[in-house]
Structure 1
């Protein structure tokens, strides 16, 4: 029996559930991000581990696309949510936890004066852009190729050979024209664009371009962006949906010592529960108290606020960031070591808390076009091999590290990486022999 046949034989229940799912929902998934993932159905998660319905375990570096920063099912968070949910979930009015969550949130990030809670990063990004347009009276915004700010028509774009267009069929194509799309880390391009156009309300940026390649800002880039926005009266929005509370307790604003006008948060802020936030200066945020509309039935719900309070309490009382730096750095080195041992050109780039793995030249990639020289398709295939060997990762190359990863997980990861790499190297030899 081949390794592939053995894997299929041990995933019988997953295969059956996947077949049924395809009858119930398009592609068998409820988010297009999962379309090309291995057809595994999970039963439970705890800490840094997942267990599928066929009894196999996985060291998890996907972490639900990032939200499980504390690991799966953190006891303190879940107990807090359960306790408060027994008293109600949505009142259509204020409740006592809102102030507590808001005070803790603002004190933790350290720079903002107001916060509004939401449910998704996509909606909070839109709220921030609306505030910027209202404050400036301008219509357009600058964003950077490869960054992700949600799936709605005005922010979902695809850049091919330098040409930007809609990222999906069915989009209103003219909405893509709401933005000027520039190369990440290119201060000169931003300077020229802001100087040439007087219709720009905002610059929105992932401070670290995590969603594509985990590309860090080059030295001084974010500070230059801040200065240019000040010079031209443009609102600077940090999309910290991924970086917030992950790269530092105060997010990228703290790590890179740059204060935005507005910032959007999600993922790591609520221990796996669906909560987002937009935060910023009182001058901008208080526009929501007037005729700038931001609404949502589940915004600031009781479970959401309980999750925020418990999660931020954990992160403040026992900050995991030094441990994450050490674990992530060791893991990045291990991946390169494993690739070298098996003749695989594995490359790693990013921060210890979130980094990108692919095949190709180890030189630093500075912007979205640089990803084109990497063999991303080969890595996607390798991610399936990793899943076969009990390591769960994203097919697009992002590895997330959680506060729950430790010595046990590192030992298991190292052993499974070597095994997966041996299979990948053998497949390469077989492919060459068959040519």
Structure 2
């Protein structure tokens, strides 16, 4: 699984500026910017505490950048690398699959084996389809809901992210206290006509959902939600919220869709639906399912998958179910199931220790920190609000202070996601957690002293 040594600061503070430490990476970014729009292939990579970084190798819980700096990684490729980077058994299984064939554009045995495993694990998975990304899986779920109900509109929640495509790209990060049924487009270029099909509400507010469905329920094909609001604040559902959504959808004949792209195979092998005991009609999975390979799945009850069975609606993709990604998914499921889910239990334990340790160090330095989430993933923010339950609470966080924290941690040799979300992998160790908390203690002390980074 790679090195187990605790990380050390990249370069002592007196040995040069950050520009010196990441000079080669910066040069690569400047070169990339001449051929790639903004120098990146995903807009999320355009953000960086100094500049977008370039990497040359990753193993276990560590990465090495273009300047040779070793970084303890809690980004995990934005979540997929649940086993850590380049897990040897995973890599071996993928290599063997590719040696047999790259792509059949037809069915193969491992695709069936993976689907059978997911059907066994995921409560709603009476039938499945494979895809290559969460964005397209979300669209498939919405299309199925519309096909079954004959309705057009969907209800989603402020701060929830269901991919970058137009139909769901509203109120992802709405300004101010935007809430209600007036959706705010995520960015320029979103089709104005798509707004008419979307209603957006504050999350964890069951009364708001009930009122809206009472007025518009006969127009709503589906309610789509992250069962844990991971992308903004890692906010868990309030008691009864998910069950309440289930009851409301049943009452109005609408589909309940769980976006389990982050929660699936991380909070539990069966996803948040298994963890919280609420079964949706349709669900989408990705990220950890492929452990770093582009693999997603649509899982659903037979009634809601029926249009695919009948061929009355279409879901397609040249790369769907390709050999390498299916082999990665099958290996991931088998590795996570091994020894009575030992890897998942370890991830949960280490994540909780890291989460709680960060909160304790914030308190020790007199800083207003909020650290919350299930443990396998959690969110850290500088905020006077001790608990967030919906997007407006997260929107008020001090993002500049967290950027300062990320800069300090990067200089300590720890790579973080700049929006506050942390991921823990099966490759992280107790020593990694201890070293990370020691680094965080130094950075928080500097922030508390007004020095920043």
Q: Shorter-normalised TM-score: what interval?
A: over 0.9
Q: Counterpart in 2 of 1:250?
A: 270
Aligned mates of 1:201, 1:430 — CA distance in 2: 49
1:315 equivalent in alignment to 2:326:
no
User: Is the CA contact (8 Å cut-off) linking 1:385 and 1:424 kept in structure 2?
Assistant: no
Residues 265, 278 of structure 1: 8 Å contact kept: yes
Q: Deviations over 1:268-315 (max 9, x none)?
A: 112211100000112221311312010000000111111111000011
What CA distance in whole angstroms lies between the structure 1 residues aligned with 2:330 and 2:402?
38
Contact 2:90 2:328 in 1 (8 A): yes
8 Å contact 1:125–1:150 — kept in the other structure? Answer: yes
Match of 1:113 in 2: 126
Superposition RMSD on alpha carbons, in Å?
Answer: 1.7
The answer to whether the 8 A contact 2:221-2:254 is kept is yes
User: What SS does the corresponding residue of 1:330 show, helix, strand or coil?
Assistant: helix
Q: Secondary structure at the match of 2:362?
A: helix
Q: Partners in 1 of 2:351 and 2:385 — Cα distance?
A: 18
CA contact (8 A) 2:150 2:221 kept: yes
Which whole-Å deviations, capped at 9, do the CAs of 1:89-121 have from their partners, x for residues lacking one? 211211222111111121122442111000000
What is the rounded CA distance, in whole Å, between the counterparts of 2:451 and 2:258 in structure 1?
A: 45
Distance 1:2 1:387 in 2: 12
8 A contact 2:118–2:125 mirrored in 1:
no
Aligned to 1:11: 22
1:347 aligns with 2:370: yes
Deviations 1:127-167 (A, max 9, x none): 00000000000000110110000111111123223253211
CA contact (8 A) 2:123 2:273 kept: no
Secondary structure, counterpart of 2:184 in structure 1? strand
| Matching residue within 154, 171, 174 for 2:193 | 174
Name the residue aligned to 1:151.
164
Q: 1:420 deviation in Å?
A: 2.2
Which residue of the partner structure matches residue 71 of structure 2?
58
Deviation of 1:380 (Å): 2.4
Instruction: Compare 33-42 and 129-138 and name the one that shifted more.
Output: 33-42
Instruction: Note if 1:284 corresponds to 2:295.
Output: no
SS at match of 1:91: coil
**Shift in alpha-carbon separation, 1:4–1:339, aligned structure 2, 3 A:** farther
TM-score (norm: length of structure 1) = 0.95
Q: Which runs of 5+ in 2 are unaligned?
A: 1-11
Structure 2 residue 229 is the aligned partner of structure 1 residue 209? yes
Given that 2:369 and 2:386 are in contact with CA atoms closer than 8 Å, whether structure 1 keeps it comes out as no
Note the alpha carbon deviations across 1:166-212, whole angstroms, 9 max, x for none. Answer: 11111112202211101100111111111111110000000000000
In structure 1, the gaps of 5 or more residues are: none
What does 1:228-243 correspond to in 2, within 5 Å?
A: 228-243=248-263
> What are the Cα deviations for residues 333-364 of structure 1, in whole angstroms up to 9, with x where unaligned?
22122223333322201110111101012421
Q: Distance in 2 between matches of 1:227 and 1:110?
A: 17
Q: Distance in 1 between matches of 2:69 and 2:369?
A: 26
SS at 1:308's partner residue? helix
Q: What residue number does 2:212 align with?
A: 193
2:280 to 241, 260, 284: 260
1:418 maps onto 2:431 in alignment? no
The corresponding residue for 1:304 is 325
Structure 2 Cα separation of the partners of residues 75 and 51 of structure 1 = 18
Q: Distance in 1 between matches of 2:301 and 2:135?
A: 20
Task: Give the match's secondary structure for 1:383.
Answer: helix
